[in-house]
Amino acid sequence: MSKAPASKPVKAYVKLEVPAGQAAPGQALGPALGQHGLNMAEFCKAFNDATKNQTPGVPIPVIISAYQDRTFSFVTKTPPASYLLRQAAKTDKGAKEPGREVKATVARSKVREIAELKMKDLNAYDIDQAEKIIAGSARSMGFEVAG
Q: Are residues 24 and 46 in the same domain?
A: yes
**Residue 2 in this model has a pLDDT that exceeds 80:** no
CATH value at residue 36: 3.30.1550.10
The pLDDT-based confidence of 63 (bands split at 50, 70, 90) is very high
Rounded CA gap, 120 and 27, in Å?
30
| pTM confidence score | 0.83
Rounded CA gap, 89 and 83, in Å?
10
Rounded CA gap, 111 and 134, in Å?
6
CA-wise closest residue to 118 among 65, 89, 77, 86? 77
Residue 76's CB is within 10 A of a number of other CB atoms, namely: 16
What is the percent of the chain with per-residue pLDDT over 90, rounded to a whole number? 59
Quick: pLDDT tens for 79-98. Answer: 999 999 999 999 998 888 88
The pLDDT-based confidence of 3 (bands split at 50, 70, 90) is low
The partner residues of 76 in beta bridges, in order of sequence, read 62
Mean pLDDT score, 5-13: 78
Given this model, what pLDDT does residue 4 score? 52
Residue 94 sits in which domain range? 81-146
Domain C-terminal end among 60, 76, 92: 76
Quick: pLDDT tens for 115-142. Answer: 999 999 999 999 999 999 999 999 999 9
Rounded CA gap, 102 and 139, in Å?
9
**Contact yes or no for 27/54 (Cβ under 8 A):** no
Distance between start and end Cα atoms, the chain: 42
- Residue 54 resides in a domain: yes
- Residue 1 resides in a domain: no
Given this model, what pLDDT does residue 98 score? 86
Number of domains in the chain: 2
